[in-house]
Structure 1
């Protein structure tokens, strides 16, 4: 079994070749310089080129295309709520702005597929299904849907399923019910980022790889010994923001791990079901997400080792043995006796703000925009954030440029060692809550989980 090597999507047999990019070999001038060549940065570049083809737009990627979360994720492009509704509703626009953004997320899923092309990114539409397998999880699922109704999410966008309906979609053991939404596509993450990069460059943007930005000032960036002079600067570094000077506590690089199995046999797939291309997840506190890949594997993700001291990140996605075993236990628990074998495991980081909600913070006097904080919902959120960023940079007033996401960067995370104790302690608390609930006859959420939710501001 392979571990690390960035991700399965980048190194699998038949993986697509990246589009040709440039190497920065001299000082350059441009209208807009974008730090970070993941989905956020590329969507900003694409959107700017659509709005004003005369702009010179430069994207600076420290590594290679697909190196970060854009190339390591689980392949869900969903309309799940991005951020914490209560936190976002405190801003301009209040609750109405939050509910309108939810409608926009649902539209965004289809728009992205239309722009990039379903075949180009292996987009498979099946929605998402969140399983409930204990009384506690079923009650939590019911409460989740009831809360969504209070934010104007109707039956056509999200509904409860009976155990029988859920089993028809996936033959998991012990089903008591599920939540289902039609608003999700499963995609190939690397094909998605490569396709977007190609479209951005075709529209006129220039993408540099191996261009690590070591200094950020209004109007000027340092890339090794070279300078990039720009009228406007966008920082779209998401989970890697903490590596920048003075930004260590702005965004928590929360670890997320992934595993794909060897291809299952037709007999194994008959046992599993899963014929509708759903993204499948859990209502347990220790969340997992999964999909069926086009070549017949199970791809599953979870937290694993949640956080590294000092906001450090992984080395090329190398994941520990305990995380591999943990993810395989989830598969074995869902489908006892299936006999699936692990093929490749890796990890990466997602960017999480202190209030678990996204932001676009634009300083018009310095012509500097910082963006991110999607907390694992970046495949769809990055598209809308990219459009919003382009509107802000060009002075175009729109729904997105005045949305609930346009706000200052949230307050900083706690200093170490509190940050490490908190992030890892919460994961242990949620794991314990899951075990206690599984052994309980009650349908109430564990008090441990309720306290953890309150402290974490989730």
Structure 2
């Protein structure tokens, strides 16, 4: 394996040791070669094997399926999209913007449907999501939003300290991400999709995937590397690998849950500028994460970057401040996610190379939608999915270094400052 994880996520740890599949054994020729064994690559193989069972499909993964964000994310299958509907409307028109958001909302249900149909028990619970307002500035931003709740109604869902209001959406499910990705890999393999793990891809080109274990020739090549895209030759500036870190508590006693709520396992965040996200796990832990770790010069990705003690401490402090508890932290982990320059995820197929990604941290449901869309594109099927605004979108490349490093980290510090300025002053 080319990359030893310093600490597995709680999700992966809960499933026990990984037994990797064998690597590629030499040169290979297939109809479709998928680079990346996470949600995007696996969902693409899942739906494509249904739509065109005559195609031979191979997945190549540098580590093991679910090693990346698919095995360590916050477990939100959400209808969130990083580009607002208002901005999409200005760019693509109201009907196409609405279709994009409706398709993502539908993907939340489709993840649950497909998992149930395939017997994948991934602790799926569609309780929706709530974004709390806990400062006057946050409340002002939420006023007039669809799904706005007053302080009493918001606190009934999530009993955090100092709740002034909140915005609730039904379009979100909490789940166990590693159970989903491992189950999905087993399902597609049983359908005849070949999965090669421990096989690093060095470069891709039309009709060819160059790996550390041989050359794969394919009619269609799918790039599905998300936060690890920068490691692919010629793609260093395509997606910026920005780190998101998480913690998971020990199981909390019922007395804590009586106060915290989240009775339907609603996911939760608040309206601060620096992203935070949490869920009540099926075994009654708080799994909680957020941004704040620095971007590293040259889009470097290293095992040591997965752990930033100051960020872990901040996440624990935030849980204490939100819920009035000082929980024991059982697991700490992190890793990169993929951010395009314009924050617009995309899906496409051109000149024999397909791609999907740039989910900006909201990829659990979006990857399912991307997989279905790629399956239609590769199979040559015209559908409502292939006309969505993100299909064929091309984000401009990130700036070269050191401009990229300065800009991303300056934005990170500015976000932290904005949140600090919005906190009520204690007299």
TM-score normalised by the chain length of structure 2:
0.94
* Aligned mates of 2:55, 2:107 — CA distance in 1: 25
- Give structure 2 stretches of 5+ with no counterpart: none
* Aligned mates of 1:113, 1:17 — CA distance in 2: 26
* Aligned mates of 1:70, 1:58 — CA distance in 2: 19
Alignment length (residue pairs)? 420
After TM superposition, the structure 1 = structure 2 runs for residues 64-143 of structure 1, keeping only pairs within 5 Å, are: 64-85=64-85, 88-89=88-89, 93-117=92-116, 120-142=121-143
Deviations 1:138-158 (A, max 9, x none): 111125x2xxxxxxxxxxxx5
* Aligned mates of 2:239, 2:68 — CA distance in 1: 15
Q: What is the match of residue 350 of structure 1?
A: 337
How far the C-alpha of 1:85 sits from its partner, in A, is 3.9
Q: What is the match of residue 400 of structure 2?
A: 415
Deviations 1:240-275 (A, max 9, x none): 111111111111111101000111122222232222
Determine helix, strand or coil for the equivalent of 1:125: coil
Report if aligned partners of 1:16, 1:191 keep a CA contact under 8 Å in 2. no
* Aligned mates of 2:285, 2:408 — CA distance in 1: 31
> Does the C-alpha gap of structure 1 residues 88 and 371 become closer, same or farther in structure 2, counting only changes over 3 Å?
farther
* Aligned mates of 1:354, 1:87 — CA distance in 2: 15
Deviations 1:72-96 (A, max 9, x none): 10000011234344664566x5331
How far the C-alpha of 1:370 sits from its partner, in A, is 2.0
Report if aligned partners of 1:40, 1:383 keep a CA contact under 8 Å in 2. yes
* Aligned mates of 2:151, 2:85 — CA distance in 1: 29
How far the C-alpha of 1:388 sits from its partner, in A, is 0.9
Deviations 1:294-315 (A, max 9, x none): 1121110101313111111241
* Aligned mates of 2:309, 2:203 — CA distance in 1: 37
* Aligned mates of 2:413, 2:12 — CA distance in 1: 31
Report if aligned partners of 1:88, 1:357 keep a CA contact under 8 Å in 2. no
* Aligned mates of 1:206, 1:19 — CA distance in 2: 16
Q: What is the match of residue 279 of structure 1?
A: 267
Report if aligned partners of 1:141, 1:179 keep a CA contact under 8 Å in 2. yes
Report if aligned partners of 1:89, 1:404 keep a CA contact under 8 Å in 2. no
> Does the C-alpha gap of structure 1 residues 4 and 278 become closer, same or farther in structure 2, counting only changes over 3 Å?
farther
Report if aligned partners of 1:290, 1:301 keep a CA contact under 8 Å in 2. yes
Instruction: Between 399-408 and 24-33, report the one with greater CA deviation.
Output: 399-408
Deviations 1:150-185 (A, max 9, x none): xxxxxxxx5011100111112111000000011111
* Aligned mates of 2:377, 2:304 — CA distance in 1: 34
* Aligned mates of 1:20, 1:198 — CA distance in 2: 12
Q: What is the match of residue 6 of structure 1?
A: 8
> Does the C-alpha gap of structure 1 residues 45 and 191 become closer, same or farther in structure 2, counting only changes over 3 Å?
same
How far the C-alpha of 1:438 sits from its partner, in A, is 1.3
> Does the C-alpha gap of structure 1 residues 119 and 27 become closer, same or farther in structure 2, counting only changes over 3 Å?
closer
Determine helix, strand or coil for the equivalent of 2:268: strand
> Does the C-alpha gap of structure 1 residues 119 and 265 become closer, same or farther in structure 2, counting only changes over 3 Å?
farther
After TM superposition, the structure 1 = structure 2 runs for residues 385-396 of structure 1, keeping only pairs within 5 Å, are: 385-396=370-381
1:372 aligns with 2:357: yes
Q: What is the match of residue 196 of structure 1?
A: 184
Q: What is the match of residue 233 of structure 1?
A: 221
Indicate the RMSD between aligned Cα atoms, in angstroms: 2.0
* Aligned mates of 2:395, 2:87 — CA distance in 1: 10
After TM superposition, the structure 1 = structure 2 runs for residues 227-376 of structure 1, keeping only pairs within 5 Å, are: 227-315=215-303, 318-336=306-324, 338-363=325-350, 366-376=351-361
> Does the C-alpha gap of structure 1 residues 317 and 45 become closer, same or farther in structure 2, counting only changes over 3 Å?
farther
Determine helix, strand or coil for the equivalent of 2:282: coil
Determine helix, strand or coil for the equivalent of 2:202: strand
- Give structure 1 stretches of 5+ with no counterpart: 146-157, 442-458
TM-score normalised by the chain length of structure 1:
0.87
* Aligned mates of 2:337, 2:97 — CA distance in 1: 22
* Aligned mates of 2:273, 2:292 — CA distance in 1: 13
* Aligned mates of 1:65, 1:28 — CA distance in 2: 20
Determine helix, strand or coil for the equivalent of 2:303: coil
